[in-house]
Each structure stands twice: as C-alpha cells, then as structure tokens.
Amino acid sequence: MEKTAGEKIRLSIIIPYWNAAVYTDELLEILSRQIRDDVEVIIIDDGSDIPYKTEFLWAKVIRKRNGGCASARNRGLKIAKGEYISFIDADDIVPEYFIEKLLEKTAGGYDVIDFSWKSLDSNGRQFNYLLRSDDDRLPNPSVCTRAFKRAYIGNVRFNEQKDSTEDEDFSRKLGYLSDDNCKHGAISEYMYFYRTSNDNSKVLRFKKGLMNTKRVLYYYKTVTADMTDLLEDVKQEDQYNEVWLMTERCDIPELSRYCQICRPQRMWAHYVLGEPTNLVEIINPPRTVNVVMYVEFANKVGGISTFIYNWCQYMKAFYDILVLFNRLDADQVDRLGRIVAVQQNDGSPIICDTLILNRLTDKIPDNVTYKKTIQICHACCQQNYTIPLDRDYLINVSRAAKDSWGEISKDGIVIHNLPYIQKKQALFLVSATRVKTVDKGENDDRMRKLAEMLRDAEIPFVWLNFSDNKLSNMPYGFVNMPSTLDTQSYIAKADYLVQLSDKEAYSMSILEALNLNTAIIATPFPSLFEEGFIDEIHGYTVPFNMDFDVKKLLNVPEYKFQSETASIINQWKRILGAKPKRRKSRHFNHGVEILCIKKYHDTVLNRTISAGQRVTVTKDRAQLICDMGYGRRV
C-alpha cells in the first residue's frame, strides 16, 4: 500500500533479514492482514546469498553488504520515519493483532512499551513471560519484545562490533532498564513469539559459540571500589562481547554501564574470569577462521612447506588463517606461528569458510566444518597416486602438473606458486685476525659472543675468518678459512669487516676495509679512530663486554672514505729524500721459469710441485732444481 505525500507514519517495523525466506514470508503474510497506511515495514537484506523479494508492495526491501544484525538495524533506523519503532527478527513471528494492539498503546505517549512474549519450539510453548499491567517490566534486554518512541532513541545506535547480544548493548546505552524517568507501558497480550526450533537461530548459534561475539562472565564475591583494573577490563570486553558480572556486592556503580550485573546463580558462559566458581557451565566455542590450510605432514624443507609459508605471508592481510597439521617440523611451526595461527590437530571443533588440502593423500579432518574445499596439486602424475574427486576446486601449481594428470585434471585451474622474498638478508662478515694469541686479548671470546648474539636474534649470517689457526666451538654460519694473500676480495664483498681485539697498534684489515668502503664492526681500541674510523658512519663500535643491541647491525652503513694515501707517500718521500730512481743492474737476479719434470716439495715456495707444472724462481734456484733433476728451463 503506497503512502500519500505528507502522511504521518506512526509505526516503523524494522526487520533485519539474512537467509530466512521461509520464515520471513510467513511473517509478512501475517502482517499483510493488518497493515495500514500509517505503518511502514522496512526489510534490511543484510547481504543474503539470494536477494530477498516479496510480492507485498508495502514492504520496502533494502539490500546492503553483509555487516550483521546491528548494522542492519542501524540502516533501518536511518530510514525509518515512524513515531514509534518496532524490531522483528526475520525468523520470528507476531500475532495477527500485533499492529492494532501496539498502535493503541502508543496513544499513551510511552517512551518504551514492553510486550508479553513466548518462545516456541516444534512441540509448542517452551517459555513465556506474561505482563499483567503497566507496572510490570521485562527483565531481559531484547529490543524485539519492546517498541520504542523514536525521539527516546535519539542518536543511540546498535554496536556494529557485535554480531550477537547487540540488544543488551543498545538497552544499556538507552538506559530504560534502570531509568526511573523513562515512561514505561506494557501489553498483556502475547505480542512476540521466538522460534527456538530454527537451527539457524541467532540465539542458538550464539550459545554454541558460532558467533564472533561471546559471553564473558566475571565472578568476584565482592567488587571493591579500588578494583579499577576490573573496570578497564570490562570496558574493553564490552566492545565486542556480552559481559556479565556475578557478585554479591558491587562498589563500582559505573560497571553497570558496561556489563550486566547479577547475584551468584547458575549460568553458562564461553569464558569465565576472576575468582574460581562452580556456578558457571563453560561452553567451549569452536575455533572459527576464514581459511584452514591443512597438511597431514610436511618436511622441514620442501615445496609444500615453502608454499604454505609463502602463501600465508601474502594472504594473511586478507583472511584469518589457521595452519592445521598432524606432523610438522618444530622450526616450521615456529616460523609459521609468527605470521598466522598454527595448531596441531587434536580433534577439537573448527569452523571455516574454506578448507585447503595440500597433499593428494590428505583426508578431510572430521573435526573441521567448512563451506568449500580446495585441493592443491603440487605434483605431476605419479604411479599409485590419484587426485581426490570430492573437492569443490582443484588448483594445480603449474600447467605441466595439470597436463600430466590428463582427463582427471581437466576441470582444474592453474595458479602458480607465490614467491616470498624476505627483506631480512643474511649478513656477510669477514675478519682476518689471528686467534689464540695473547696480543689480541679476548678477541676469541668476543667473536664467539657476536656469533651467538646473531644466532639468538635470528639474524642469518655467514662469517669467514682468515687465520692460520682455527677458532673452536663456533655456531653455524662461522667458517674458519686458511690464510690467504687475497683477503681484500672478500672484504670488498662483505657487509662488515669484524675486528674485536683488546688493542691494535694499527689494524691492516681496518685500513683495507675503510679504503674499500666496507662497513666495520670493531671494539673501541684507540688506533681504530686514529685510522679515521667514525662510529655510525663507517660502521659500529661495540663495547668490550659485547653488551649492545645486535639488531642494529641490520642497518649496514654506506659511505665513501677519504683516503690519506697521498699524504703518507709524501711523508715518506720527505724522509727518503728526492733522489732519482736508479736503473736496474744488469746483474739483477731476474726470475727464471722452469718446467717440473719430477714431483718435489719446494721449501722456498712452501708447496708441492707436480710434474708438468711451471714455476718461476730465481736464477740460482733454477740452476739448483735443474742440477738435481727436478726440472728444466723453459
């Protein structure tokens, strides 16, 4: 029935709807026999799977993106024009005299009108609350069993952070349960009927723990005025959950703004906090997530393990993910646990939108309830293996994998694996220092300490130390290297040159690192600064006791060192004098190349020379080798 322009609306009925067409059709059929011009019915379709449609033109259907019952009711309040507001849930029912009785009562100008109500199951009446006069009040905070004057509601709205018990939150904000100035009315006839037989009822889903909002109960025998931490905790919980405080005495009146307060009695809750009590039945809610990434087992290093880690790194920004496993390496569990939830499957109930299975041999876990399944195919066709056909989607990691399975994979799609390049790169450290020597002081212990600090901070590193002696008891990543004349090549490629001596007269490796523009980690021995090193410009000085935040080393300094080479050369020239360079003597003992014809150990070159090798030695040395029959001149 169309409303004429300027016609006053006395009553707005707001119906939040989500996937309840059968029940809502019956509700509208009952309302159709009593609808009138001064009543509007607003149905807020909260993103149902199938958009709701009705043949009744007087019912205004507004479709929105799914946001929960609170957001649907708020949308209805924004649209409603009625002097009074009534809320009816889409799966409940009202009597054929609902509108008539309610409009009669609104003539009294009440702020809030309470309804007598019943809850119905498949066997008939289950519970009821009968009001006998205007002096009676409903103790429960349901908005569906009341009508409100729109002016009394004002700007108060439902908490959209909650997907259940938003009635209680709304009622506390309005304050009508405890406001003596609120003008109350009551209707003795039964005006509202809950359908508790509906398995999808929000009331039942809330109790089972299937909603995001949970019931949190605090129990304290006495709440004293100094328990300010309790007040703050309850405030935080009230943003998302239904909160109860069970106590014999409460000395903080402000708590009533954020929770329901009752005396000790039998109750149920999902979580119980505070003092121990046996009055509360704890209903453990199932774990609910968007995606369960399941694998029966995975190796520490392998394609499936890497796929899961990389996939979670990218998709965690969009979905709530749980990695569920039967057997998984402890290091992988630790690594994954830093970015998503990880759980060994202990059989506890889990509810998800999507279940992803990674091995072709994985069986769907009995304890996981899901809306759809995805099978990942990480392998090409193999004998004795097949692709499960009872999955909703098949994803192959490559075209080659899909094609190898032939007909059985024809409906599968191809999505390549995700790469994940960690921003944290391994540090490359180089040192060229003697170990186990007195003049270096506690250098050995500091090197071990630094390696352990890097390992404990989970900073990957490779550390090459060039020395004639080996340093023992070093962690993974430290490599003892033999001495070489070519350490500069390694220093040039390194992130840091490391020198942790007690003192140095003049460190040649520090000098080389500065001139190669390689950052330095060094203890603060005096000559370090004499060589031109500036802390946090050319690297970092670390205290002799090695007490510092090792993570700062991840910020590797870059610089251009101003060498003093030209000045030093001039100093030497002044000492040596400005004399001309002498010509080489005709008798200078030039090198002579010989071909080894018999294997021998050369004591001058300090290495074994094999037959066929060429070496360059002095003229006198060459003559001796040839005379002994080990070689001949080339």
| Domain-embedded: residue 572 | no
Predicted local confidence at residue 435, as pLDDT: 84
Predicted local confidence at residue 103, as pLDDT: 97
Contact, 86 vs 13, CB < 8 A?
yes
Contact, 317 vs 418, CB < 8 A?
no
Predicted local confidence at residue 51, as pLDDT: 96
CA angle 569, 571, 575 (to 5 degrees): 115
Q: Which of 377, 380, 371, 378 is nearest to 389 (CA)?
A: 377
- How many separate domains does the chain show? 5
The residue whose two tokens read 């943003």 is: 239
Confidence label for 177 from pLDDT (cuts 50, 70 and 90): confident
Give the other-Cβ count within 10 Å of 171's Cβ.
20
Q: What is the CATH number of the domain that holds 56?
A: 3.90.550.10
Separation in Å, CA 247 to CA 1, 227, 228, 262, 275: 53, 13, 16, 6, 10
Residues 486 and 366 occupy one common structural domain: no
Distance of CA 14 to the CA centre of its chain: 38
pLDDT in tens, 18-46: 999 999 999 999 999 999 999 999 999 99
Ramachandran angles phi, psi of 108, nearest 5°? -80, -5
Residues 269 and 143 occupy one common structural domain: no
Contact, 435 vs 471, CB < 8 A?
yes
Residues 302 and 276 occupy one common structural domain: no
| Domain-embedded: residue 384 | yes
- Over pLDDT 90: what percentage of the chain? 70
| Domain-embedded: residue 6 | no
pLDDT in tens, 50-99: 999 999 999 999 999 999 999 999 999 999 999 999 999 999 999 999 99
Give the other-Cβ count within 10 Å of 477's Cβ.
16
User: CA-to-CA distance for 88 and 116, rounded, in angstroms?
Assistant: 14
The residue whose two tokens read 């250098």 is: 443
Which of 251, 282, 313 corresponds to the end of one domain? 282
pLDDT in tens, 325-368: 999 999 899 989 999 999 999 988 999 999 999 999 999 999 99
Residues 41 and 185 occupy one common structural domain: yes
| Domain-embedded: residue 205 | no
607 three-state secondary structure: strand
Confidence label for 211 from pLDDT (cuts 50, 70 and 90): confident
Confidence label for 6 from pLDDT (cuts 50, 70 and 90): low
Residues 136 and 59 occupy one common structural domain: yes
E strand or H helix at 245: strand 242-246
Confidence label for 1 from pLDDT (cuts 50, 70 and 90): very low
Q: What is the CATH number of the domain that holds 250?
A: 3.30.160
Eight-state DSSP code of residue 6: T
Confidence label for 621 from pLDDT (cuts 50, 70 and 90): confident
User: CA-to-CA distance for 407 and 3, rounded, in angstroms?
Assistant: 61
Predicted local confidence at residue 140, as pLDDT: 84
Residues 178 and 35 occupy one common structural domain: yes
The residue whose two tokens read 């003092």 is: 275
| Domain-embedded: residue 209 | no
Predicted local confidence at residue 587, as pLDDT: 47
414 three-state secondary structure: strand
Contact, 350 vs 376, CB < 8 A?
no
Residues 310 and 252 occupy one common structural domain: no
DSSP secondary structure string, 531-596? Answer: TT--TTTSEEE--TT--S-GGGGGS---------HHHHHHHHHHHH-SPPPPPPPTT---EEEEEE
pLDDT, averaged across the chain? 90
pLDDT in tens, 444-470: 999 999 999 999 988 999 999 999 888
Q: What is the CATH number of the domain that holds 510?
A: 3.40.50.2000
Q: Which domain holds residue 272?
A: 214-282
Predicted local confidence at residue 124, as pLDDT: 53
The residue whose two tokens read 């192959």 is: 396
| Domain-embedded: residue 53 | yes
| Domain-embedded: residue 254 | yes
User: CA-to-CA distance for 47 and 65, rounded, in angstroms?
Assistant: 5
316 three-state secondary structure: coil
CA angle 211, 394, 358 (to 5 degrees): 70
E strand or H helix at 260: strand 260-262
Confidence label for 581 from pLDDT (cuts 50, 70 and 90): low
Residues 297 and 403 occupy one common structural domain: yes
Residues 528 and 560 occupy one common structural domain: yes
Predicted local confidence at residue 320, as pLDDT: 94
Q: Which residues contact 280 (CB under 8 A, 6 or more apart)?
A: 217, 219, 246, 266, 267, 268, 269, 272
pLDDT in tens, 417-445: 988 876 657 899 999 998 888 778 899 99
> With 60 as the cut, is the pLDDT of residue 619 above it?
yes
Q: What is the CATH number of the domain that holds 292?
A: 3.40.50
> With 70 as the cut, is the pLDDT of residue 582 above it?
no
Which of 267, 282, 297 corresponds to the end of one domain? 282
Length of the chain: 634
Residues 240 and 355 occupy one common structural domain: no
Residues 48 and 118 occupy one common structural domain: yes
The arithmetic mean of pLDDT across residues 172-197, rounded, is 88
Residues 291 and 401 occupy one common structural domain: yes
Q: Which of 39, 83, 42, 36 is nearest to 60 (CA)?
A: 42
Confidence label for 125 from pLDDT (cuts 50, 70 and 90): low
> With 70 as the cut, is the pLDDT of residue 123 above it?
no
CA angle 248, 253, 255 (to 5 degrees): 85
Eight-state DSSP code of residue 209: T
Which of 243, 260, 282 corresponds to the end of one domain? 282
Is the pLDDT higher at 580 or at 380? 380
Eight-state DSSP code of residue 309: H
| Domain-embedded: residue 325 | yes
> With 70 as the cut, is the pLDDT of residue 579 above it?
no
User: CA-to-CA distance for 397 and 379, rounded, in angstroms?
Assistant: 8
Token pair for 153? 């509601």
